[in-house]
Amino acid sequence: MIRYEGKTVIKLTVNGSVHELAVRPSDLLLDVLREQLGLTAAKPGCKNGDCGACTVVIDGWPAKSCLVLAVEAEGHAILTVEGLGGTAAVQRAFVEENAFQCGYCTSGFLMVCHALQTQHPTLPEEYVIEEWLASNVCRCTSYEEIRAAVGRLYPPEDAP
Amino acid sequence: MIPFNFVYCRPATLEQAYEAFGQLQAEGKNPVYYAGGSEVITLCRAGSIAPGAVIDLKEIPECRVLSADREDLHFGAARTLNDIKESRLVPLLTLCCGRIADHTNQCRITLGGNLCGTILYRETCLPLLLADATVTLFGGRGLHAVPFQSVFDGRMQLEAGEFIVEVGLPGWAAQAPHWHIKRTTNEKIDYPLVSLAALCKDGRLRVALSGVCSYPFRSAEIEDVLNDSSLSIERRVEGAAALLPEPAYSDVRGSGQYRVFVLKNTLQTLLEAFSNDQI
Amino acid sequence: MAIGESIPRKEAWDKVTGRAQYCDDLPVTGLLEARLLTSTCAHATIVRIDMTRALAVDGVKSILTGDDCPELFGPLVQDRPALARGVVRYAGEPVALVVAQDAPAAELAARLIEVDYAPLPLVLTPSQALADGAPLVHCPVNGYKKVVTDMYPEAGTNIASRYKIRKGDVQAAFPKCTAVVRQRFALPPSDHLAMEVRTARAEISADGQVLITTASQAPYTVKKQLAEAFLIPAGQIQVKVPFVGGGFGGKAPVVLEILAFLASRSVGGKAVRLSIPREQDMASAPGRLGLEADITLGADGDGLIRAAEMTYWLDCGAYTDIAPNMTKAIAVDCTGPYHIENLHCDALCVYTNHTYATSFRSFSHESYTFCIERAMDLLADKCGLDPLEFRLKNAIRPGSLTPTQVLCSDSLTGDLTKCLTGVKALSAWEGGRAVPIKQDTVRAMGVACFWKSANPPTDAISGAMITFNSDGSVNLNTGVVEMGSGGQTDLAQLLAERLRIHPDQVHVVMPVDTRTAPENWKTVASLTHYMAGQAVLRAVDDLIAQLRQNGAQAFGCPPDEIEVANGRVFSKKNPEDFIAFKDIAQGYQSPLGESIGEPVLGRGGFMLKGLSLLSPETGLGQTGPAWTLGAQVVEVEASLKTGSYRLISASTVMDVGRVVNPALMHAMVAGGMSMGISLASREAMTYDAQGIPQAPNLRSYKLLHIGQEPDYRVAFVETPEEGSPYGMRSYSEHGIIGIPAALGNALSAAFGRPLVSLPLTPERILNGLEEGGHDPV
């Protein structure tokens, strides 16, 4: 059985690299990513699991990193926006569709969209897209643009 | 940020978990079991609780089952709502899990965590109450299965150190006609004003409710009225709404009066759907 | 060339790669952490503050209370302490500030401070605050130092200020009206909910240099207020603002910066980071105003509005902040964009024990517009006219006088008639009546018009500096904050157009540093294109003049023969023989090695002109350079039985003067509409009877999520505004303004009852929203 008490060194796999980090068991993954690793794309919008701005991808699924202990993430593959580089389809789609204004919620939406595309390589039904994206809040856009960006991830079949 | 620290344990077996609980309690750590973590972390941050230790049950194999055998369907307590939803083993459970919190959080919140939560809705209990579920617990009495209804009266009644290992649903529950109707203030992802689950067993409607009162429940009296085909739908709805076990819950999301109004509309929708299916 | 192009935001790739740094993304090593303790009472005397247990927490460096900061703050009148002094006036008011070695220690210590309160009677609405014998939030209300002259507190009351509009003769006009409606309205306060929670950092060097890093729309105001309050030479204060994660007016006031400064000062100037949780961002930091209104409108037999009498009571909460100016803004535009010759309006700014209010997207226009546009529908109905036709009949037009008696022209206000006819087509308007579509279900549309001018200080300024890179591209440096409203990209396009280069050749300095960027009043009021835009154009002109000088020397001809275009300098007489910017912008070197001319540095400044304070008795005067107006329609499908509804479409036609970036402008306007729908359908800061906010978190305070939005339709009318860069009008706030009203009108039509409050939740619709209303007379 694992038992951590006080500051403990753990190994976290983030964006393909393994990091040894000293954390308290009660430290949140979000805070550790931001303050120890300098990966600040995930944002503290509410720290209550309600806004989705801190969303990262863990083992291919979206997770709100404000509701994950860093010690829990040991042994799992964590992906943040920084790990997308600049090459993920979703990043270009967001630029092309103006799917952000202030940009603060953007990282969270990008990670949800990226996970959606991972889990659903072909166009899922509309309600699935809505269900996934309704985990996040954007205060600036009308969502129309974000929807359009998701649309770009699933190019229509070649017309007959 | 959680301003205080705690001990984090991740046992690999049921026995280790229970022993860790006893050990940490003896150390004065006031331990809590931990699974998806969303509620524990939220309450710690807000200062509502300050456990000295959390025991993470997520990696115990028995808590992670997700399977169907000849008679029953088994759902490990550490399975996430999303796991259960994607398994599609029991359609009514799938529907209920799919309307708790949002999708990303469904990938974290566990069945056990939802059932044992302090937040009053505990909507995963609704199908369990309706389908004569059994729940397997581990604790001082070792591993033992009991009828879910015998340990749930709006919230889980567990002995100190006891925890849920898995929930079992009978095979018929997966085939039975069913309905889930959830009504919120107006945003789709929200706690319910009314969350109604219904199953039809042997031609009889079973109904469980969350959100209407300060705890979720299934009521024999309400089911009797709803199944009384000598009454019009309207009379049954009125009769059922008058039989709430306590005055309707009232908060910033909706007044008690409004919840009753929504309940009546929901029951009407249900009975209309039910009678259409009967025909 | 550059104008009219849908170029992506200049900072687009920074925002999709995580490179865009917001205030709290800056490194935290070496910083002490500060946390706030806030009031749990809405109005109370502070009897005792016991810090014994808190001070015993390991790592605590200092704990401040109101006793440590006697200064008072406020942009218009100084009525607000940084930390409560003796009395708390709203639940959430900062009471103590802890500085500690790390965040857990600061948070733990804040939780261990014990405060005893002796509750005082409280007022939670303007009606309560103005009732006979109401408890006073501030006593004496007129005892504070005024920063501006047009503030009129009324002694012995909760009235912080009052603005009057007197135009024509309402006494004589009303009796001639054949249709008169009167309606009361009550709108609750709500919150900005920018996704980035406010935060600030401060440090003070040994020689007294103050560095503030903050999420602010007003870095120069931070500098000014700190300098004045703490008697620091302004030059010793440096304010840095990186990307801001949404402002919507909520980051215009100076709040956390003061506290961060105090925190740093209390620990010998060490660097301190002040973080607040979302809950405090909602309950402690200022929010959106509440509003009550009483409106009477009268029309003649032809359906022309002949008289209007209205009173607005703005709930500014416990402190005024900028609310008196918002009250004034209501008075200035109180009628909406309609031709009304006889008008009597009083707009009052009223203290209550709510969280105090500050500027919110559209500066109170979304609130009063709900009231006036609902009243317009009531009057249209009484006149038996289609609501859209009724508005067309009464639309403001050249020759009309605004409420403050500014003479309208196409240039000044734009063309409402075109907007209304445009939105009629865009929304496929089918009248203001409910159309049954199945049992218990109807479809209905509501229309609303809006207009908005600005209320800046009459002497507000902007500046711009342009430098060249060695490849001939340029860098633009202004004091404009990038917070999502796209101002920087607009400016880049204006620059590119004027300099006749491709917008790709313009690099924009995104973070603001008051040491290096020329002063810009604030990034508010949708005035970036107008103020900073003019500064940019002047800086480009300056640049061009210098390029001509260099060119004249290089080509040996008079400067006025030199042309500058497409990244080249050449003589008009021989365009084939040119020098590229890269070879002449830093001075020119002849083929023989001779150095010619000087490095080129463009600079431009701009100060608002021609604005005035309002006459205290009649309101005569002009507060902003021009208006932007438009018309909006919302279409709903409503269930009569349950009170629930679905949004089908929302349309806006706005006169923006000139479309600079079609895609971004569309997105900005649609975003505003979305905020209006969220606000009108679900948002309110709910307080219990003791004045305690009931839902200061995003779990309970629900914003609109994806999947519930209507089909957004946006179109533009282009009536140029003379004197504004390329004829552009303000547009970035405006999408929100008429949406709550249009939704209210649609739902009032659908349910067949006058809805007079917000938010429009099914429960409140069913209850008839009785709080504010009575039947029209």
Pairs of residues, one from chain B and one from chain C, whose beta carbons lie less than 8 Å apart: 50
Give C25-29 contacts, CB < 8 A, sequence gap 24+.
C25/A34, C25/A40, C25/C242, C26/C201, C26/C213, C26/C242, C27/A38, C28/A35, C28/C273
The amino acid at residue C377 is D
The amino acid at residue A22 is A
Kindly report the nearest CA distance between residue B161 and chain A, in angstroms.
17
* Pair (C624, C673) in one structural domain: yes
Give C415-418 contacts, CB < 8 A, sequence gap 24+.
C415/C655, C415/C717, C415/C719, C416/C337, C416/C391, C416/C449, C416/C451, C416/C629, C416/C630, C416/C631, C416/C655, C417/C392, C418/C653, C418/C655, C418/C717, C418/C719
Tell me the average pLDDT across C205-218. 98
Taking an 8 Å cut-off on Cβ atoms, the answer to whether C766 and B189 are in contact is: no
C356: its two tokens: 């105090």
Tell me the average pLDDT across B190-206. 97
Residue C617 is part of a domain; what is its CATH number?
Answer: 3.30.365.10
Query: Is C420 contained in some domain?
Result: yes
- Name chain A contacts of C30, Cβ cutoff 8 Å: none
Per the DSSP assignment, residues forming a β-bridge with B113 are none
C613: its two tokens: 């304070």
pTM beyond 0.90, yes or no: yes
Angle, CA C47 vertex, CA C45 and CA C48 arms, to 5°: 140
Taking an 8 Å cut-off on Cβ atoms, the answer to whether B187 and C103 are in contact is: no
* Pair (C364, C441) in one structural domain: yes
Which of C17, C278, C652 to mutate: most A Cβ within 10 Å?
C17
**Alpha helices (H) along C384-415:** 387-394, 410-413
Task: List pLDDT tens digits, range C598-653.
Answer: 999 999 999 999 999 999 999 999 999 999 999 999 999 999 999 999 999 999 99
* Pair (C278, C323) in one structural domain: no
Taking an 8 Å cut-off on Cβ atoms, the answer to whether A91 and C17 are in contact is: yes
Which of C607, C627, C645 is the last residue in one of the domains?
A: C607
Taking an 8 Å cut-off on Cβ atoms, the answer to whether C761 and B3 are in contact is: no
CB B109 within 8 A of CB B189: no
* Pair (C548, C661) in one structural domain: no
Asked if residue C95 has pLDDT above 70, the reply is: yes
Instruction: Tell me the C-alpha distance between C400 and C422, whole Å.
Output: 22
Query: Is C705 contained in some domain?
Result: yes
Kindly report the nearest CA distance between residue C655 and chain A, in angstroms.
20
Nearest to A68 among B4, B37, B188 (CB): B37
Instruction: Tell me the C-alpha distance between C49 and C115, whole Å.
Output: 4
Angle, CA C707 vertex, CA C635 and CA C5 arms, to 5°: 80
Taking an 8 Å cut-off on Cβ atoms, the answer to whether B190 and C111 are in contact is: no
Element (H, E) at B180: strand B178-183
- Name chain B contacts of C695, Cβ cutoff 8 Å: 252
* Pair (C261, C296) in one structural domain: no
Taking an 8 Å cut-off on Cβ atoms, the answer to whether C16 and A104 are in contact is: no
- Name chain A contacts of B113, Cβ cutoff 8 Å: none
Q: Which of B86, B91, B112 is nearest to B32 (CA)?
A: B112
Instruction: Tell me the backbone φ, ψ of residue B246, rounded to 5 degrees.
Output: -155, 165
C284: its two tokens: 């402690």
3-state secondary structure C591-632: CCCCEEEEECEEEEEEECCCCCCCCCCCCCCCCCCCCEEEEE
Q: Which of B39, B235, B55 is nearest to B119 (CA)?
A: B39
| Burial readout C474-504 (b: 16 or more C-beta within 10 A, e: otherwise) | bebbbbbbbbbbbbbbbbbbbbbbbbbbebe
Residue keyed to tokens 């010619």: C596
* Pair (C443, C324) in one structural domain: yes
Task: List pLDDT tens digits, range C581-595.
Answer: 999 999 999 999 999
By C-alpha distance, the chain C residue nearest A132 is C706
Query: Is C186 contained in some domain?
Result: no
Query: Is C396 contained in some domain?
Result: yes
* Pair (C260, C388) in one structural domain: no
**What DSSP line would sit under A4-37, residue for residue?**
E-SSEEEEEEETTEEEEEEE-TT-BHHHIIIIIS
Which of B187, B194, B250, B261 to mutate: most C Cβ within 10 Å?
B187
Query: Is C9 contained in some domain?
Result: no
C642: its two tokens: 């349950």
Q: Is the peptide bond before C762 cis (omega within 30 degrees of 0)?
A: no
Q: C772 pLDDT band (50/70/90 cuts)? A: very low
- Name chain C contacts of A100, Cβ cutoff 8 Å: 15-16, 484
Residue keyed to tokens 């109005």: C43
Query: Is C175 contained in some domain?
Result: no
Q: C687 pLDDT band (50/70/90 cuts)? A: very high
Taking an 8 Å cut-off on Cβ atoms, the answer to whether A55 and B9 are in contact is: no
| Burial readout B106-142 (b: 16 or more C-beta within 10 A, e: otherwise) | bbbbbbbbbbbbeebbbbbbbbbbbbbbbbbbbbeee
* Pair (C266, C297) in one structural domain: no
Q: Which domain holds residue C583?
A: 461-607
3-state secondary structure C435-474: EEEECCEEEEEEEEEEEECCCCCCCCEEEEEEEECCCCCE
Instruction: Tell me the C-alpha distance between A75 and A55, whole Å.
Output: 18
Asked if residue B239 has pLDDT above 90, the reply is: yes
- The percentage of chain C sitting over the pLDDT mark of 70, rounded to a whole number, equals 99
By C-alpha distance, the chain B residue nearest A61 is B107
Taking an 8 Å cut-off on Cβ atoms, the answer to whether A91 and C675 are in contact is: no
Kindly report the nearest CA distance between residue B198 and chain A, in angstroms.
23
**CB neighbours of residue C368 within 10 Å:** 32
Where do the domains of chain A lie, and which CATH numbers do they carry?
Answer: 84-153 (1.10.150.120)
Q: A158 pLDDT band (50/70/90 cuts)? A: very low
Which of B56, B102, B186, B190 to mutate: most A Cβ within 10 Å?
B102
C213: its two tokens: 């890093």
* Pair (C622, C748) in one structural domain: yes
Taking an 8 Å cut-off on Cβ atoms, the answer to whether C16 and A100 are in contact is: yes
By C-alpha distance, the chain A residue nearest B14 is A1
How do strand C60-65 and strand C94-100 relate by DSSP bridges? Answer: antiparallel
Nearest to C702 among B5, B190, B258 (CB): B190
Query: Is C160 contained in some domain?
Result: no
Q: What is the pLDDT of residue C768?
A: 72
**CB neighbours of residue C770 within 10 Å:** 10
Taking an 8 Å cut-off on Cβ atoms, the answer to whether C243 and A103 are in contact is: yes
- Name chain A contacts of C701, Cβ cutoff 8 Å: none
Query: Is C18 contained in some domain?
Result: no
Nearest to B108 among A6, A67, A134 (CB): A67
Q: A155 pLDDT band (50/70/90 cuts)? A: confident
| Burial readout C736-755 (b: 16 or more C-beta within 10 A, e: otherwise) | bbbbbbbbbbbbbbbbeebb
The amino acid at residue B57 is L
By C-alpha distance, the chain B residue nearest A7 is B5
**CB neighbours of residue C233 within 10 Å:** 9
Q: Is the peptide bond before C233 cis (omega within 30 degrees of 0)?
A: no
HSE of C424 in the Cβ direction (CA atoms, 13 Å)?
15
The strand order across the sheet containing C87-88 reads C87-88, C44-50, C114-119
Which of C562, C581, C607 is the last residue in one of the domains?
A: C607
Residue ranges of B 161-200 with Cβ closer than 8 A to chain A: 188-189
Chain mean pLDDT for chain C = 96
CB C134 within 8 A of CB C128: yes
- Name chain B contacts of A62, Cβ cutoff 8 Å: 103-104, 107
By C-alpha distance, the chain B residue nearest A132 is B103
For residue C578, the SS3 value is strand
Q: Which of C117, C510, C60, C73 is nearest to C254 (CA)?
A: C73
Cα radius of gyration (chain A):
16
Nearest to B186 among C277, C681, C686 (CB): C681
- Name chain B contacts of A48, Cβ cutoff 8 Å: 42, 45
Across C127-247, the runs of DSSP E, i.e. the strands, are 145-146, 159-167, 179-187, 199-204, 210-214, 237-241
Instruction: Tell me the C-alpha distance between C191 and C198, whole Å.
Output: 13
Kindly report the nearest CA distance between residue C683 and chain B, in angstroms.
11
For residue C276, the SS3 value is coil
**What DSSP line would sit under C624-675, residue for residue?**
SS--EEEEEEEEEEEETTT--EEEEEEEEEEE-SS-S-HHHHHHHHHHHHHH
A136 close contact with B: CB closer than 8 A? yes
- CA B8 to chain CA centroid, Å, is 26
Kindly report the nearest CA distance between residue A2 and chain C, in angstroms.
24
- The percentage of chain C sitting over the pLDDT mark of 90, rounded to a whole number, equals 98
Asked if residue A12 has pLDDT above 90, the reply is: yes
Q: What is the pLDDT of residue B278?
A: 64
* Pair (C475, C600) in one structural domain: yes
Nearest to C107 among B3, B253, B261 (CB): B3
Which of C577, C607, C637 is the last residue in one of the domains?
A: C607
Task: List pLDDT tens digits, range C284-329.
Answer: 999 999 999 999 999 999 999 999 999 999 999 999 999 999 999 9
* Pair (C297, C444) in one structural domain: yes
- Name chain A contacts of C670, Cβ cutoff 8 Å: 141-142, 144-145
**CB neighbours of residue B174 within 10 Å:** 18
Element (H, E) at C27: none
Subunits close to C (at least 3 CB pairs below 8 A):
A, B
For residue B75, the SS3 value is strand
- Name chain C contacts of A85, Cβ cutoff 8 Å: 17
Instruction: Tell me the C-alpha distance between C403 and C415, whole Å.
Output: 17
Task: List pLDDT tens digits, range C461-491.
Answer: 999 999 999 999 999 999 999 999 999 999 9
Kindly report the nearest CA distance between residue C281 and chain B, in angstroms.
14
Q: A160 pLDDT band (50/70/90 cuts)? A: very low
B39 close contact with A: CB closer than 8 A? no
* Pair (C543, C601) in one structural domain: yes
Task: List pLDDT tens digits, range B127-151.
Answer: 999 999 999 999 999 999 999 999 9
At what angle are helices C662-682 and C739-751 packed, to 10 degrees? 50
Where do the domains of chain B lie, and which CATH numbers do they carry?
Answer: 7-56 (3.30.43), 61-173 (3.30.465.10), 177-278 (3.30.390.50)
Number of domains chain C is built from? 3
Q: A157 pLDDT band (50/70/90 cuts)? A: low
Q: Sort C56 into a burial class: Cβ within 10 Å, 0-12 / 13-18 / 19+.
A: exposed
Interface predicted TM-score (ipTM) over 0.85? yes
Taking an 8 Å cut-off on Cβ atoms, the answer to whether A104 and C22 are in contact is: yes
Asked if residue B279 has pLDDT above 80, the reply is: no
Cα radius of gyration (chain B):
19
Task: List pLDDT tens digits, range C542-580.
Answer: 999 999 999 999 999 999 999 999 999 999 999 999 999
C705: its two tokens: 């999520």
Instruction: Tell me the backbone φ, ψ of residue C114, rounded to 5 degrees.
Output: -105, 130
Instruction: Tell me the backbone φ, ψ of residue A137, rounded to 5 degrees.
Output: -120, 135
